[in-house]
Amino acid sequence: MMKSFQLSRYWVAQFAGWGLFALINVFFALLFNSYEPKILQRILFFMEVGVIFSHFMREVIHRSSVLLKDLRQQILTFILLTVAFSFFITCIVSPFEQLFQLRTNAEGEPVSYLSLFITNLISFIPLLLIWNAIYFMYHFIIKTRKQEMDTIKLEALVRQLELNTIKAHVNPHFIFNSLNGIRALVDENPERARSAITELSNILRSSLSAEKAETVALSQELKIVKDYLALESMRFEDRLRVEFLVDEKTLNSPVPPMMLQTLVENAIKHGISKQMKGGVIKIISDIKHNQHELLVQNTGHLNGFAKSTGFGIASTKDRLSLLYGEKASFEIRQLDPVLVEAKVVMPMKGS
């Protein structure tokens, strides 16, 4: 069975808009008794030309990504496109009108080419300006509504994160292990025990307030991660080795709060803890192609973990998508036979 043909909203709007233009011209021609035998031909010709060339102009807008530029550049580009296409259409339409004598003066004689050219240019500029204004406003409203929906989704996600923060970012096993480690240190190393209590307090405080801001500076996030790793080192001792390779230029870069801690926790849970001899965790922060690359590498094997739908990984993907859209990416891969890498790419501040 053949599928039914259905016009898109764009083409419905195209035909409706230019059809309305034709009807208005016919109405005024009849109203002022200026109906000529060839006026209908001329109006239909203008309608066809309008549909074809406005569609061509739309293709130019899409291919040059005009709608992705800032507001001022968009407006300037639309004005330039209006003038350029009006001139282009006039250069094509005027010879046809002159050749087939579609426009005549009061005496029924063909008008001069110069007069015809100027009249057409003056006619097409406001027409295309109106077309561009409607097209621009439509996409501006759609984009604004999408941003509002993204904001609502982000707020909903924040509320969800607030309810799951301690469970997702600082799991009970970690707290119990830390408390047991601190208890063991109280007698043999009281100073280290006091430091461990401060580290645990910092992590819990950060977890409870993590989702009150959309982003925090990487330097702040690194402090939490270092506290977390210092506590985990009590459990793993020599089995856990940590390396930091952080470009100082990225320290002020914004990152979602507790995101890096989540990735490090996953690296320990699914990587280091499963290795008899332990392993290494590398935290790398660098700038490449004007983007912030944040990497967490750990000894271990994926074993299907890349397809995990756990809250930590899922929330990381959702937060990056809502904050940066297609400008950010996240992936987990087996970098080599013994090394797993979690990679986050985000736009630099201001880009």
Whole-model pTM above 0.75? no
CA atoms within 13 A on the CB side of 163: 6
**Helix ranges, the chain (H):** 9-31, 39-63, 71-100, 113-169, 172-188, 190-209, 218-236, 259-270, 311-324
Q: How many Cβ atoms from other residues are within 10 Å of residue 137's Cβ?
A: 10
User: What are 153's two structure tokens?
Assistant: 């989704």
240-246/279-288 β-pairing: parallel
Residue 308: is its pLDDT beyond 80? no
Euclidean distance between the first and final Cα of the chain, in Å? 50
Q: 187: Cβ–Cβ under 8 A, 6 or more apart, which residues?
A: none
Q: How confident is the model at residue 278 (pLDDT cuts 50, 70, 90)?
A: confident
Maximum mean pLDDT: which of 93-97, 152-156, 312-316: 93-97
DSSP label at 108? S
Q: Is the pLDDT of residue 163 over 60?
A: no
Mean per-residue pLDDT, 257-282: 86
CB atoms within 10 A of CB 50: 21
pLDDT attached to residue 4: 44
Nearby residues of 114 by Cβ (< 8 Å), 6 or more positions away: none
CATH number of the 170-347 domain: 3.30.565.10
**Residue 1 gets which letter from DSSP?**
-
> Using 50, 70 and 90 to split pLDDT, how confident is the model at 36?
low
pLDDT band, very low/low/confident/very high, at 33 (cuts 50, 70, 90): low
What is the C-alpha separation between 224 and 227, in angstroms, rounded? 5
Yes or no: say if 288 and 329 are a contact pair by the CB < 8 Å rule: no
Statement: residue 297 has pLDDT above 90: yes
Tell me what the mean pLDDT of segment 260-267 comes to.
86
pLDDT range class, residue 2, cuts 50, 70, 90: very low
d(CA 346, CA 288) in angstroms, rounded, equals 10
Confidence of residue 197 (pLDDT cuts 50, 70, 90): confident
Helix (H, G, I), strand (E, B) or coil at 97: helix
* Average pLDDT over every residue of 126-133: 88
59-68 mean pLDDT: 84
Q: Where in the chain is the domain with CATH 3.30.565.10?
A: 170-347
Minimum mean pLDDT among 30-44, 69-83, 289-303: which range? 30-44
Compute the average pLDDT of residues 244-248.
Answer: 93
168 has pLDDT over 60: no
Distance CA(302)–CA(287), nearest Å, equals 26
What are the angstrom distances between the C-alpha of 310 and each of 136, 305, 314? 41, 9, 6
Is pLDDT of 130 > 80?
A: yes
pLDDT of residue 118 exceeding 80, the answer is yes
pLDDT recorded at residue 281: 93
Cα separation, 329 vs 307, in Å, equals: 15
Who wins on pLDDT, 303 or 301? 301
Decide which of 41 and 165 is more confident.
Answer: 41
d(CA 330, CA 344): 5
Confidence grade of residue 5 (pLDDT, cut at 50, 70, 90):
very low
Q: What percentage of the chain has pLDDT greater than the value 90?
A: 12
Residues 233, 238, 244: CA angle, nearest 5 degrees: 65
Residue 225, pLDDT above cutoff 60:
yes
Question: Is residue 307's pLDDT more than 80?
Answer: no
- Strands of the sheet containing 291-299, edge to edge, are 240-246, 279-288, 291-299, 339-347, 329-336
Q: What is the DSSP letter of 2?
A: P
Q: State the burial class of residue 121 (Cβ atoms within 10 Å of its Cβ: 0-12, 13-18, 19+).
A: middle
Res 322: pLDDT: 77
Q: Which of 33-47, 137-151, 165-179 has the weakest average pLDDT?
A: 165-179
Three-class DSSP category at 249 = helix
| Cα 279 from Cα 319, distance rounded (Å) | 29
Q: Name the strand (E) or helix (H) holding 293.
A: strand 291-299
Q: Report how far residue 312's alpha carbon sits from residue 180's, in angstroms, rounded to the nearest whole number.
A: 25
